[in-house]
Structure 1
Amino acid sequence: MAVPPEGTPCWADAMFSDAEGAKRFYGDVLGWTFGKASPEYGNYTQASAEGKAVAAVVPPMPGQEGPAQWCLYFSSPDAAATAAKIRENGGEVLMEPMQVGEFGTMCLAREPSGAVFGVWQAGTHEGFETTGTPGAYCWAEVFTREPEKADAFFSAVFPYTAKQMDDDAVDFRIFNVGDDTVLGRMKMTDDFPPEVPSYINVYFTVDDCDEAVAKATKDGAVLRYGPVTTPFGRFAALTDPQGANFSVIDVTTTEGEMPTTTDV
């Protein structure tokens, strides 16, 4: 795949205190296989689905242990310029742009409402080798209690146009790069415990949502929502055994009409 346009989600990884346990879990639930760990890059280990790179897991550096969470990276032609935009628009740069060998340049940041994300300027590693196929990344949503902050930030940092879903029951917005819808934003409701911070939830594609949920819960995950069938697919929200939130979606099983949206 070519380097995706600026602002497009292009990679996902997660830090797990039990990296081997994470490999077993995601290998069972999503069918991932894993390459060799790279000691020179903190034992960063790439995951593949059907032989194509889809994500990575890594153990924490000493002193960096904390709750596991998936980090979504957005494509940038210039990570330093994007880091400057992040600061200018009220975000916080958690890790300054850092070159990762010949693979590319990474940066970690936090948007004003609290969700952590990454920026990736591609070198030899262009990001996901497949999306929307079984085991691969499919979609992501920013969950936040302060949508105004998140909306203004992402639209200023990346070349997004936005549409608001016409639904009084939920506050949901989508962001486009050109004609491609690349990201959602959901206002967190009181269903979320107050201690849960803003975060970006990643969706991975599966052949059968119910089967994936059964495997995940058998392996120690907690089912948070679903499975439910929507116009976009049948999906469920889960928390893996080490505390990282993610969702699984079968995009071939759909129900209902697509919601209407309004340009904003």
Structure 2
Amino acid sequence: MPEARGPVGLNGEAHTRYAPGTPCWVSLMAHGLTATQEFYGELFGWEFQPGPHQLGPYVRALLDGREVAGIGQLPPDRHLPVAWTPYLASDDVDTTAETVRLSGGTIGVGPLDAADAGRLAIGSDPAGAVFGIWQAAARLGTDIAGVHGTPAWNELLTFESASAAKFYETVFGYRRETVASDDLDHVVLHVAGRPVAGVRGLGTALPRDRGPHWMTYFEVGDADEAVARVRGLGGQVLAPAHDSAHGRVATVADPEGARFSLIQGLPEA
């Protein structure tokens, strides 16, 4: 994971329009909307506002009045995995969705309008990893970065990086950069010369109960304290906090099983 993680600079500064291909939003579809809000509100300090409701009951998470992420409620009869999903920016979601189909992926939802906020689609890559596509109108996406409780990075965990990266390059126009390592299959995707997302091939180490999926990293002020809070709120610790080249990192799951990572970034030089 490269050091440039957020959509903009640090310390909460707002962004302008996201360049196509840049992760611009993360959304969680859960079974218990109220309990899920309570968990993330306690963990990240989020507050919530309702809507838009095109996909059913849905709330937007806010920090200091600025939009961070979304949480929706799965219909009772839909037994889908509870997971965080990144949305990748597009100037034309209909064209991008068609490119997804032509490149071997699928579109499961949309394209459709989300009131005046924008236009969206939800699809999956050829290996089955789910992602969203967002064409902004009134709402550009995540409106704050670099502070506790904000998305910091998104990484695709899949079988092998080469074919997955090629799909996303074709659809979103990324430039890829392979991370030099003898034992890691890792590619970083760039937009306009800036790293925006990662692709990590795990081979047989990929969890069988999840398959290929996107992992969202959230910024925290203290990774160890955040891990303890996750446990105290009824979540699970999948990989304890440990030091990495990019800061202190842990992987956890909320009470419904949605996996995400926590990162306490290295101090600015």
Which range moves more in the overlay, 143-152 or 89-98? 143-152
Distance in 2 between residues matched to 1:253 and 1:113, nearest whole Å: 36
Query: Could you tell me whether the CA contact under 8 Å between 2:54 and 2:115 is conserved in 1?
Result: no
Q: Distance in 2 between matches of 1:40 and 1:93?
A: 17
Say if 2:157 and 2:206, in contact at 8 Å, map to a contact too: no
- Give the match for residue 104 of structure 2: 90
Distance apart, 1:41 and its partner CA: 5.4
Deviation (angstroms), 1:13 = 0.8
SS for the counterpart of 1:156 is: helix
CA-to-partner distance for each residue in 1:174-231, whole Å, 9 max, x for gaps? 0000121000011125444323210000011110000000000111211111311112
Indicate conservation of the 8 Å contact 1:234/1:253, yes or no. no
Say which SS state the counterpart of residue 228 (structure 1) adopts: strand
Residue 32 of structure 2 corresponds to which residue in structure 1? Answer: 18
How much does 1:150 deviate? 0.8
Q: Which stretch shows the higher mean deviation, 222-231 or 245-254?
A: 245-254
Q: Identity of counterpart residues, as a percentage?
A: 31
SS of the equivalent of 2:149 reads coil
* 1:141 corresponds to 2:130: no
TM-score under structure 1 length normalisation = 0.91
- What is the match of residue 159 of structure 1? 173
Matching of residue 55 in structure 1 with residue 69 in structure 2: yes
Structure 2 residue matching 1:197: 3-state secondary structure = coil
Match of 1:178 in 2: 192
**Secondary structure of the structure 2 residue equivalent to 1:56:** strand
Contact 2:160 2:203 in 1 (8 A): no
Structure 2 contact 52–115 (Cα < 8 Å) conserved: no
Residue 212 of structure 2 corresponds to 198
Shift of 1:68: 0.9
**Matching of residue 101 in structure 1 with residue 115 in structure 2:** yes
Q: Moved runs in structure 1, 4+ residues, more than 4 A?
A: 37-41
CA distance in 2, matches of 1:63, 1:2: 39
Give the alignment partner of residue 79 of structure 1, picking from 76, 87, 93.
93
For 2:57, the aligned partner's letter is N
Look up the equivalent residue of 2:109 and give its one-letter code.
M
C-alpha distance in 2 between matches for 1:83 and 1:40: 18
Report the Cα offset of residue 243 of structure 1: 1.1
CA separation of 1:222 and 1:62: change in aligned 2, threshold 3 A:
closer
Q: 1:58 Cα deviation (Å)?
A: 1.1
SS of equivalent to 1:35: strand
Asked if 2 retains the 8 angstrom alpha-carbon contact of 1:139 and 1:182, the reply is: yes
C-alpha distance in 1 between matches for 2:76 and 2:214: 25
* C-alpha separation in 1, matches of 2:175 and 2:80: 35
Kept after mapping to 1: 8 A contact 2:217/2:260: yes
- Shift of the alpha carbon at 1:56? 1.1
Deviation at 1:37, TM superposition (A): 5.3
- The alignment covers a number of residue pairs equal to 254
